[in-house]
């Protein structure tokens, strides 16, 4: 089994890879719990910020020359108001926080260490920036009794806790997307998980 190669890419070097990241987001987020009916136009607009945003990076997973996974991050100050708002409302200095956007990996490559590698690489990147002491990401909150939930689905909570993240349910935001089989965008609640990146933040 070929080992996956993880590469952290920033700035203009990201542009040739954005179509691959869009493809992965559309494919992986169709799965539970997101059920995202991907839109190529939205993906192009969403991902275009990463080459331009100061401090942004994408960790790419390669199988040979093929991109099979991607994981994004950027300083929270560079994120949109939807993501920043709960932190500002809770009195946070958003300049202290690095936001981890998403990790997407094709199913056949899971269980080979890429998930751990994505977090390790993003945390290493975030620690390069003075004043950053906290990593944060958010995940969609679904009703565990939802009949669409696959019987074999295993939540990632234990994996995230093992990486040192803890849930902060008081921090939540709402994002809108169209679900598979739906006709229009719907609101979805996402809650945040946090990890201190320095002893001072613990």
Q: Give the CATH number for residue 58.
A: 3.40.630.30
* The pLDDT of residue 86 is above 80: yes
Q: How many domains in the chain? A: 1
Mean pLDDT, residues 68-83 taken together: 98
Peptide bond connecting 167 to the previous residue in cis, omega within 30 degrees of 0 = no
Question: pLDDT per residue over 108-138, tens digit each?
Answer: 999 999 999 999 999 999 999 999 999 999 9
* The pLDDT of residue 39 is above 90: no
Torsion over CA: 188, 189, 195, 201 (sign): positive
Mean pLDDT, residues 92-99 taken together: 98
pLDDT at 1: 62
* The pLDDT of residue 143 is above 60: yes
The pTM of this model reads: 0.94
pLDDT band at 202; cut points 50, 70, 90:
very low
Question: pLDDT per residue over 44-75, tens digit each?
Answer: 899 999 999 999 999 999 999 999 999 999 99
Residue ranges making up the domain that contains 180:
5-201
Taking all residues of the chain, what is their mean pLDDT, rounded to a whole number? Answer: 95
Task: Write the burial class of residue 149 (CB in 10 Å: 0-12 exposed, 13-18 middle, 19+ buried).
Answer: middle
* The pLDDT of residue 165 is above 90: yes
pLDDT at 201: 45
201 or 155, greater pLDDT: 155
């Amino acid at each position: 089994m070929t080992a996956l190669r993880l590469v952290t890419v920033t700035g203009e070097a990201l542009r040739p890879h954005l179509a691959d990241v869009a493809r992965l987001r559309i494919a992986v987020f169709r799965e539970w719990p997101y059920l995202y009916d991907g839109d190529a136009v939205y993906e192009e607009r969403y991902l275009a910020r990463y080459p331009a945003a100061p401090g942004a990076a994408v960790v790419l997973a390669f199988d040979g020359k093929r991109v099979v996974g991607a994981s994004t991050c950027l300083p929270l100050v560079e994120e949109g108001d939807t993501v920043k708002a709960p932190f500002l409302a809770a009195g946070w200095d958003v300049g202290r926080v690095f936001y981890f956007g998403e990790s997407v990996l094709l199913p056949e490559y899971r269980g080979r260490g890429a998930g751990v590698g994505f977090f390790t690489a993003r945390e290493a990147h975030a620690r390069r920036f003075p004043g950053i002491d906290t990593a944060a990401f958010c995940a969609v909150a679904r009703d565990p009794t939802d009949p669409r939930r696959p019987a074999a689905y295993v939540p990632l909570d234990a994996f995230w806790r093992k990486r040192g993240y803890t849930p902060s349910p008081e921090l939540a935001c709402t994002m809108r997307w169209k679900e598979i089989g739906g006709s229009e965008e719907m609101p979805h609640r996402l809650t945040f998980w946090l990890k201190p990146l320095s002893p001072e933040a613990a």
